[in-house]
Chain A
Amino acid sequence: MGDLTDLTIADARAGLRKGAFSAKELAEAHIRAIEAARPLNAFITETPERALAMAAESDARRKGGKGGDVGIPLDGIPLAIKDLFCTLGVRTTAASHILDGFTPPYESTVTAKLWRAGAVMLGKTNLDEFAMGSSNVTSYFGAVENPWRRRGDNRPLVPGGSSGGSAAAVAARLALGATGTDTGGSIRQPAAFCGVVGLKPTYGRCSRWGIVAFASSLDQAGPMTRTVRDAAIMLGAMAGHDPKDSTSVDVPVPDYEAALGQSLKGLKVGIPKEYRVDGMPAEIERLWQQGLVWLRAAGAEPVEVLLPHTKYALPAYYIIAPAEASSNLARYDGVRFGLRVPGEDLIDMYENTRGEGFGREVRRRVMIGTYVLSAGYYDAYYLKAQRVRALILRDFTEAFKTVDVILAPSTPSAAFAMGEKMDDPIAMYLNDVFTVPANLAGLPGISVPAGLSAEGLPLGLQLVGRAFDEATVLRAAAAIEDAANFDARPGFVAEGA
């Protein structure tokens, strides 16, 4: 039977269809793996009973002849869900103390679509509190450990963030795939740090309804998987218009898997020289050049493009995202859900609840957001950042007049050790220097594992495409995946069987 936790989604789908194993066996193997991997702290809540019940339904569907066909593309596939998606009857924390005891009476649109597609829920994965972070150290439920270690160095590394639990779970073979959300790189950066594929779709492609909001004009859900094909399969099930999210766009969802086989002949790949930042390690630069060589060999044509406002993306993001967060997080007031810390009067209760309920990074960002939106500073900070955002979008719009996809590194470094970069918030923010522009412009981006650093850690390459052209992004990503032939495995891999 082989190790069921080592399969891709595509292989597991084929095995289930053939009857080589049951959804129950597949779920059980993953439940054992999750138990064995508890030291990684990748999950906040495990849901083994739910997983077994959903797997039993899948097996019953298949016996009845109704499983695994069109409309049920993920029948029996066990997935992990970032604990930012509200799940009916299952505690949802956003990795924050302030949501203590919150059990959603509803299901997010994206997870509802996954369950309708037949997927099996293994549990809720750890993240940075309210998805604010790049290392998963801000979680109220403790840091997640990256399943990878540097060669000859036993210090635990961060998995990246904010979707660090999802990335670690997929890398360590605890789930065949996982959901993530990406506001400034929160899917792509942890995917790069853990050696998995992470796709942030176009803003508006997946419904945000039922996902705990961080920065509403930037947040987007997407898949995290071990192969590009698996990302295509998962995205197909997650994407689509939802009347409950007014920013979800009503455009057809193509067959992403079908796009993968198509040739790259004639595809124009943009190389933005502005991504060559000061102090970027030579191995990242080399990997980037290697990516270009691979795409050229597959038939694509490299073209230099200009994205002149790239260096302003990060400071603009650190106005816009905290501003939106300060507004979104106003709802946590100790009245309707979650934690309440008593006070002398109503306002004192609000202040105590929010002072105790939010962690340090969340407090810091809510305060920056409050400041840049406050009277006298709104024009100088918030409107200024929105104008810079318009220029960043214009840069991409111009570039996409001549190219079909843009190639860049995913991150400026490999995963770092816990404790590093923790003293200076800006040093931590710089992790997202290559990923933030796609969020500001609303464009789809993917990180594909492309090689190992000198220290033996995974490095990712990023592709950014035109709005709603995930198909081309996936097609180019598949070419890099084929050429890179990334088969390295993390030091920590849970054995399911």
Chain B
Amino acid sequence: MSVDEATVRKIARLARIKVKDEEVAPLAKELSHILGWIEQLDSVDTASVAPLASTVNAKLPWRKDIIDDGGYPEKVLANAPEGVQGFFAVPKVVE
């Protein structure tokens, strides 16, 4: 699978990563190279194999649906680049 420059721009957009114009062509080459190498998996017959997402078989445990933590907004916001009146602040998104 060859990744073209338009695809690089599309992936970068989906990943929310700004890519400089001069980086697009080298990235297309690198990603194509890696994906080409990965394609050797096509030679493995997996028709009758279920996908494995985790090696831990146990059913995910349930916890009680109660509040047992929290109540410290100042601690939660302490690392935020911008916090206003107990909220995370972001650039304006509505006019």
Contact = CB atoms under 8 A, between A and B. Distances in A.
A454 interface: no
Contact of A387 (B3, B8, B49): B49
For the complex of A and B, the 4 pairs showing the least CB-CB separation, nearest first, are: A442-B55, A355-B18, A386-B51, A340-B81
Interface stretch (A8-16, A135-143, A261-269, A309-317): A309-317
Interface string B55-95: 11010110100000000000110111110000010111100
A203 interface: yes
B54 A247 contact: yes
A335 to B, nearest CB: 5
B38 A319 contact: yes
Nearest to A104: B79
A338 interface: yes
30 contacts: A103-B78, A203-B55, A217-B53, A247-B54, A249-B58, A312-B40, A312-B41, A315-B37, A319-B38, A319-B41, A335-B80, A335-B88, A342-B91, A346-B93, A347-B16, A355-B18, A355-B19, A364-B30, A366-B17, A367-B31, A371-B3, A371-B11, A371-B31, A371-B35, A387-B44, A387-B50, A391-B46, A393-B52, A424-B33, A467-B55
Contacts of B7: 371
Interface stretch (A278-286, A377-385, A487-495): A377-385
B14 A370 contact: yes
Given A217-B53, A425-B30, A467-B55, A381 B38 contact: yes
A contact face: mostly helix, strand, loop, or mixed: helix
Nearest to A100: B81
Contacts of B90: 335, 346, 349
Interface residues of B, number: 51
Contacts of A354: 15-18
Interface of A: 101-103, 105, 203-204, 217, 243, 246-247, 249, 309, 311-312, 315-316, 318-319, 326, 330, 333-340, 342-343, 345-347, 349-352, 354-356, 358, 363-364, 366-371, 374, 381, 383-391, 393, 424-426, 440-442, 467
B12 interface: yes
A343 B81 CA distance: 14
A391 B91 contact: no
Nearest to A317: B38
B53 A367 contact: no
B25 interface: no
B56 A442 contact: yes
A350 B90 CA distance: 10
Given A336-B79, A346-B93, A387-B50, A355 B37 contact: no
